[in-house]
Amino acid sequence: MDALKQDNELETYFQNKFSSEDISTISSEENSCVKFWENYLETGNFSAFQILKNFYPQLCFPIQTDIHKTGDYINAVLKGKDSYRTLEEKLELNDAAGLKIKIHNSIAGTIPVVSINDNDDFSTLVQSFLHKNNPAPIPQSMGAFLASGINNWARIHNVKEKWIVNNPLGNWNSEFSENILPNPEMYKDKIIVLSTKPYSNVPADQLGLLQEKWTACSYTIRLEHECTHLYTLKRYGSASNNLHDELIADYIGICKAFGRYNKEWMLAFMGLENYPHYREGARLENYLKNIQIHEDDFQKLTDTIKNAIETIARFDDGLGPIKSDKDQIARIESLCETDLIDIASQEGGYMLVTKYNEKVLKS
């Protein structure tokens, strides 16, 4: 690949995915997804894992290559049929009892949060939700994800049952096609899934922390990180595996867990604790899978990330601890609406503060 194409590919990667021209208003009202989950949890009739299997039949299928191409999988996951009930092999967890569900309220609204104690169980759920039950390799540095737009068949069946009671002679297939399918909020969920492993696979002693303290901090960082992705998804229509997104989400996560931003933590999360040396296998690699980067361009990228982290640290120092939801939102939006290349520039701090002040004056 020639140098010009490499530069273009890196330039494309750095393009800002957040558009201030397409900002949406975020409602604080609970959506039908959350209400359905709350009603289900209140009954106390099922374990947390059984609730997930009732909602998402893919969690009944084992992790196998190309299993998503089988008739049973297609009928269950895409058509809502109960073909999975007769499966000889089913998905098993090492510690199903260690799976917990809670409803969490964030600046982006209320969302179900699934927590998993066993690291292998977390990888299994990643493979099921994000890789259609295929045995894709899961990086050790990955410890959470936001699943958006997944069919909840228990919700669909609930809507169907209520509709049939009121329309005993009606045609459900027509109703579903005309009035349900065009309204995904009636049957698609957004959920956050969290592991309890060390954040970014960075051990406690590397940060000079006790294990118990680091475990608690890791959980908070993950939760706030994913809630920040949820906010940008609802606000800008974008939440991607891009380093711009990740720096923003980690910024909020660290601040909420530690009280202030810690650039040394952030550098360690990205494998840049010994910059300019990069630690192979660190989390930064998770966000570069879809592009080809020459060694020289990789150095440019790590330079940019290092400089952006330094700028964000100065930005946080100037503002102090997060004081309110409005303050938090203004910081997120300032970071979103400033290009990553600009954040990493010498004028980055000034640009962020200027944008932040504009946000505060408007609120």
Task: List per-block mean pLDDT (blocks of 10 residues) for the chain, which spans 363 residues.
Answer: 52 85 60 88 91 96 97 95 86 97 95 97 98 97 95 96 95 95 93 97 96 97 97 92 96 97 98 96 90 86 97 98 97 97 97 97 86
Q: Provide the pLDDT for residue 86.
A: 83
CA 42 to chain centre: 26
Given a contact cutoff of 8 angstroms between Cβ atoms, the answer to whether 99 and 116 are in contact is yes
Count other Cβ atoms within 10 Å, centred on residue 289.
8
Task: Note the maximum CA span of the chain.
Answer: 70
Rounded to the nearest 10 degrees, how much is the dihedral formed by the CA atoms of 330, 336, 342, 346?
30
Separation of alpha carbons 328 and 314, rounded Å = 16
What b/e sequence results for 159-178 when a residue is b if at least 16 CB atoms lie within 10 Å of its CB, and e otherwise?
beeebeeeeeeeeeeebeee
Structure-token pair, residue 139: 């990086």
Count other Cβ atoms within 10 Å, centred on residue 38.
13
Q: Provide the pLDDT for residue 69.
A: 97
Angle, helices 32-43/48-55, rounded to nearest 10 degrees:
140
Q: Provide the pLDDT for residue 6.
A: 45
Q: Provide the pLDDT for residue 21.
A: 66
